[in-house]
Amino acid sequence: MSPPACLTAAFYKFVDLPDYQARRAPLLALCEARNVKGLILLAREGINSTIAGASADVHAVLAYLRSDPLLANLQHKESFAQRPPFHRMKVRLKKEIVTLGVDGISPTQMAGTYVKPADWNALISDPDVVLVDTRNDYEVEIGTFAGAIDPHIKSFSELPHWVDQAERLGQATGKKPKVAMFCTGGIRCEKSTALMRSKGYDEVYHLEGGILKYLEAVPPEQSLWQGECFVFDERVSVGHALVPGPHALCRACRQPLQDGAVASVLFELGVSCPRCHAHTSQAQKNSARERQRQWELAKAREQEHIGAKFPKPVIAL
């Protein structure tokens, strides 16, 4: 087997970018010229991205970003794959690079204390620490840390309401508990820990580099991670050493297929799964069927087909 030819780089940085709108066009042009694909989000509060392509091309994009003094210390995570995980390149302008929906939350000034992967096990094994998984319910469903609380949220913007209602975060002893939070790559925890500090939690910690860094750095025999980690690309999930996992993706809702989903009468390849079947119209399903047909034809001809978008279900992703 030939060595993996496609490099995936994930990165983010909270930094004030007053000219973020003007950055879009030259960044998109560079990525397209280098045949780099993926998604880059730009906002006043910073940058958030996962891109993929040939190693030299991806590193050229990273070098371009780091040539700006504001992004000179931009950190990224790498993984390799045999096949490209993205089919398009998009650079989008956003109000937030990760949507929490709470004004006045500044990760650059209020985020919690970083904990390195090597020290994470000791922290979350402390019985006085409340461990919170800040990810969406479908992400938690396929893997999480032992003992973590699942807030059962469908989007990150639901987390503030959960924090206000969570009994485990109560003050039975008259003092707010120590809180440890984690997410896929660390970006959501920059905001969630800043949120906690804004609400008066003094001892708030988060996993530096997120689950992905933990899975990369901590040997399986020492790990407190259970299951797989959902990732937002064609790999669907990864395990220790960031090896792609066994999960498949529903092409309609872009969420991992649940156990037994393929055997359900509500599952139709490329069209729906039990999780999203009730949330798409017949017109959306028909559109998805046509896209699936075109994709299968293109595959039979050994051609790439990206076509129109899959129908977007009316559910929070």
What pLDDT, in 10s, does the model give residues 163-191?
999 988 876 556 899 999 999 999 999 99
Count other C-beta atoms under 10 Å from residue 159's C-beta.
25
Q: How far apart are CA 203 and CA 128, in angstroms?
A: 11
Query: What percent of the chain is modeled with pLDDT above 90?
Result: 74
Continuous segment of H or E residues that includes residue 79: strand 76-81
pLDDT for position 171: 60
The reply to whether 115 and 218 lie within a common domain is: yes
Q: What is the mean pLDDT of the chain?
A: 90
Last residue in a domain, options 58, 93, 128: 93
Decide: pTM greater than 0.85.
no
The reply to whether 65 and 134 lie within a common domain is: no
Q: Is residue 99 part of a domain?
A: no
pLDDT for position 167: 83
Q: Three-state SS string across 164-189, please?
A: HHCHHHCCCCCCCCEEEEECCCCHHH
What pLDDT, in 10s, does the model give residues 113-138?
999 999 999 999 999 999 999 999 99
Q: Is residue 98 part of a domain?
A: no
Count other C-beta atoms under 10 Å from residue 75's C-beta.
12
- CATH of residue 80's domain is 3.30.70.100
Is 60 exceeded by the pLDDT of residue 111?
yes
Is 90 exceeded by the pLDDT of residue 309?
no
Where in the sequence is the domain holding 34, given as residue range(s)? 6-93
Confidence of residue 67 (pLDDT cuts 50, 70, 90): very high
Q: Is residue 176 part of a domain?
A: yes
Q: Is residue 242 part of a domain?
A: no
The reply to whether 80 and 126 lie within a common domain is: no
- CATH of residue 217's domain is 3.40.250.10
Catalytic residue from among 183, 253, 273, 276: 183
Task: Report yes or no: 310 and 291 within 8 Å, Cβ to Cβ.
Answer: yes
Q: Could you tell me the CA-to-CA distances from 305 to 272, 290, 298 in Å, in that order?
A: 20, 12, 6
The reply to whether 217 and 153 lie within a common domain is: yes
Confidence of residue 18 (pLDDT cuts 50, 70, 90): very high
Q: Is residue 239 part of a domain?
A: no
The reply to whether 82 and 148 lie within a common domain is: no
Q: How far apart are CA 104 and CA 163, in angstroms?
A: 17
Among the ranges given (13-27, 31-45, 108-122, 249-263), the one the predictor scored with the smallest mean pLDDT: 249-263
The reply to whether 122 and 166 lie within a common domain is: yes
Q: Is residue 188 part of a domain?
A: yes
Number of compact structural domains in the chain: 3
Task: Report yes or no: 39 and 27 within 8 Å, Cβ to Cβ.
Answer: no
pLDDT for position 81: 77
Q: Is residue 102 part of a domain?
A: no
Q: Is residue 177 part of a domain?
A: yes
Last residue in a domain, options 54, 71, 93: 93
Three-state DSSP class for residue 235: coil
Q: Is 183 a catalytic residue?
A: yes
The reply to whether 130 and 190 lie within a common domain is: yes
Last residue in a domain, options 67, 93, 119: 93
